[in-house]
Amino acid sequence: MPLRFSILDQSPISQGQTAREALADTVQLAQQAEQWGYTRFWVSEHHDAKTLAGSSPEILISHIGARTSSIRLGSGGVMLPHYSAFKVAENFNLLENLYPGRIDAGVGRAPGGMPRASFALSNGRLRDAGRFPEQLDELRMYLENSIPESHDYYGMTATPVPPQASPIWMLGSGEGSSQLAAEKGLPYMFAHFINGEGGQDFAANYRKNFIPHKGNGPYTGFAIFAVCQETREQAEYIASSLDLSLAMGAQGMPSDGTPPPEQAAAYEYSKFEKLLVAENRRRMVVGDPKQVVDQLEALGAEYGADEVMIVSVAYDFKDKLTTFRLIAEEMAKRTSIKKQ
């Protein structure tokens, strides 16, 4: 099967931009992604994050669903330890009824924010990420409407129950999440854009140890930063905004959004920051269309992946659209050549 291409959007806020404008960009990107033939479009969950506008993926999915018609939509992902599995199931059952056959319930165990946000989300209690495996079982039980008779909640349903359940996806950036995905028989998306090391090995172990659920087989993908422009030089210039943003974030430096490439080009990096930039480049691909798709396909082969999910950040939204358009056009060109 050819490698499928999808999008994860974090609704990043650029300098001088409002959160409302960033969310409008996300909706427009989803509409364009549908036209360009991307497989799915996911949105993320971040809390107390002044440079990322997506704090409630279920609400944003609903909004995007009303403005698209066919592309799969999902969460990348809901940070399950913050919430009741039953309430999350209700949210996704409602979405599945509104947009049947189009919804993915992507979940993870990361906090999605700093500790104070986690405390606020749990009314001042410690976040119990240790219950995550149990919560996965609960979420599946509610989504599949399969509460056993021996359970205290037997006879209860996560209404409104749709004709088919939204698939649960496991998201993660480490070995533990890949192992858990294999044990639970879930599709797995590795966050290469967060952790550029070890993903290929985790994916191999996932496939090796996969335990089928209802006859399904392993399905794996990786999410990665990408910047694609007409030339390598243009791509490097646009990517400099992300380079600077990531370097500042790693050092806890205050930020008012994705900086313009002019600011990034003028920034005087220390020796340490230059090393940070070089290290962060392991989490992204940058170049012209052929270079980017060549790298993505090569990584796909290393992962044994079924799918690649692209994350792109640019100061100017037009440059971000260019990244996804050029990648889609390059993929369409290669698919056409293979069919001949």
* pLDDT digits 0-9 by tens, 252-283: 999 999 999 999 999 999 999 999 999 999 99
Residues 249, 156: Cα–Cα separation, whole Å: 45
Predicted confidence band at 336 (pLDDT cuts at 50, 70, 90)? low
Question: Does pLDDT of 306 surpass 90?
Answer: yes
Residue 272 burial (10 A CB sphere; 0-12, 13-18, 19+): exposed
List, as own/partner pairs, every contact residues 87-91 make where C-beta atoms lie below 8 angstroms and the sequence separation is at least 24, other chains included: 88/139, 89/139, 89/142, 89/143, 89/158, 90/142, 90/158, 90/159, 91/58
Enter the CATH code of domain 4-232+284-338.
Answer: 3.20.20.30
C-alpha dihedral sign at 89, 93, 94, 99 = positive
Contact status, residue 220 vs residue 190, Cβ threshold 8 Å? yes
* Amino acid 193: pLDDT: 98
Contact status, residue 143 vs residue 166, Cβ threshold 8 Å? yes
- Domain ranges in the chain are 4-232+284-338
Question: Does pLDDT of 150 surpass 90?
Answer: yes
Beta strands 220-228 and 72-75, pairing class:
unpaired
* Amino acid 21: pLDDT: 98
Helices (H), the chain: 19-36, 57-65, 85-98, 115-121, 132-143, 175-184, 199-209, 232-250, 261-266, 271-280, 289-303, 317-339
pTM: 0.96
∠ at Cα 117 (158, 7), nearest 5°? 65
Residues 46, 79: Cα–Cα separation, whole Å: 9
Question: Does pLDDT of 337 surpass 70?
Answer: no
